[in-house]
Amino acid sequence: MSFDIIVAGGTLPDGRVADIGIRGETIAAIEPRIDAEAGTVIDAAGDLVSPPFVDPHFHMDATLSYGLPRINASGTLLEGIALWGELKPLLTHEAVKERALAYCDWAVSMGLLAIRTHVDVCDDRLLAVEALLEVKRQVSPYIDLQLVAFPQDGFYRSPTARANTIRALDKGVGIVGGIPHFERTMADGTRSVTELCEIAAERGLMVDMHCDETDDPHSRHVEQLAFETQRLGLQGRVAGSHLTSMHSMDNYYVSKLLPLIAEADLSVIPNPLINMMLQGRHDTYPKRRGLTRVPEMLKLGIRVGWGQDCVLDPWYSLGTADMLDVAFMGLHAAQMSSPADMARCFDMVTNVNAAIMGLDHLGLAVGKRASLVVLDAGNAIEAVRLRPDRLAVIARGKVVARRDKRDAALSLPGRPAIVNRRHRLPEAVAPVQVLP
């Protein structure tokens, strides 16, 4: 028996040490030791071997546009919205496509092999839609790219948004989006949730809605989203992104809301980097952290993943395409401090995000797609702590990115010549298992 690739001696996120044999685009074997020939052998001894990173919430039509036509001087949400309105008429098909492809290069180098991106449909040209459909086709050999039809200026608030949403779906955009809290009235927001979910149900599509991305405790559209999910039989196909208003809601209402979300099998996607930057702006002290109630949701079995949202665009001037940056910030903001919680945060940006996106073919198991990452870390928690180099990235059975280990050389009297920041746990410490 032979393999195209063997990833040898790596540590899996569950603590097992194993060889992974890849044949074609498929994981063909995961065993303590594989004695077989292979076209390529990747020595992963002492390193973490992980499923690929997955980002369930992004805006690729705006990515890498920072500074065009000007910089968001305040760094606020409202200035970002205004700036996007200034930039949108200046967009060209080729510029959107080129920036998106450049971001996809970043993503591959970081082991990020699945992305769900929202695309604004409130430009009658649908220029960004056309560009990202081309990007989707071009990157399909190595990135699972999902597109969400996103009426950013409001499904009803923008005069042509409803018609443009339908046009985008007809062109091949595969997920229905919305932004109910940005409609002119609470009633219009509620009505938009209903109609958008009905459109998705009629077409057999998934839903991913910007929902309650505000500090307003009365922004409660996720309640309607959960209701429509159940009414229309969309369980497991709907995600509510952000839900930051929940950090302002009273505990009694939330005690009723969370079981409703769980009952509807609604997925939740907070975006810690940008939510912490943009929300809680109207507080003096005490200051809200800008994030929804992640630990409370997890306790009820609600599927929660971390999203990145933005990289170098009108809203967020930072970002690296590293989902471990997202997990690191998320566990701090949500105070997920136990070893099991920290390991869970790693799972959230890999397996959980893949589940939210319906990507059943991803994961470290025989028969799954051969897409995986080798990291310069000993375990999942260390990976979150260090945000380490990706030593090898494999997509569909092909090595698409490599990087040498980069220890630091020291010149200090009486100290080692080489140093890295990895830390070996005492032998008595058992590997941390991710909670189910």
Contact 21, 56 (CB under 8 A): no
- Residue appearing with tokens 């992104």: 241
Contact 323, 112 (CB under 8 A): yes
3-state SS, residue 409: strand
Other CB atoms within 10 Å distance of the CB of residue 136: 22
Catalytic residue among 213, 228, 296, 427: 213
Separation CA 222–CA 219 (nearest Å)? 8
Contacts of 231 (CB under 8 A, 6+ apart): none
Tell me: cis bond preceding 32? Omega within 30 of 0 counts.
Answer: no
Separation CA 63–CA 87 (nearest Å)? 12
Give 165-190 as a DSSP string: HHHHHHHT--EE---GGGSSSHHHHH
Contact 313, 62 (CB under 8 A): yes
- Beta-strand relationship, 112-120 and 53-58: parallel
Separation CA 243–CA 309 (nearest Å)? 14
213 is catalytic: yes
Contact 384, 377 (CB under 8 A): no
Residue 202's nearest CA partner among 166, 172, 171, 227 is 166
Give me the active site residues, please.
213
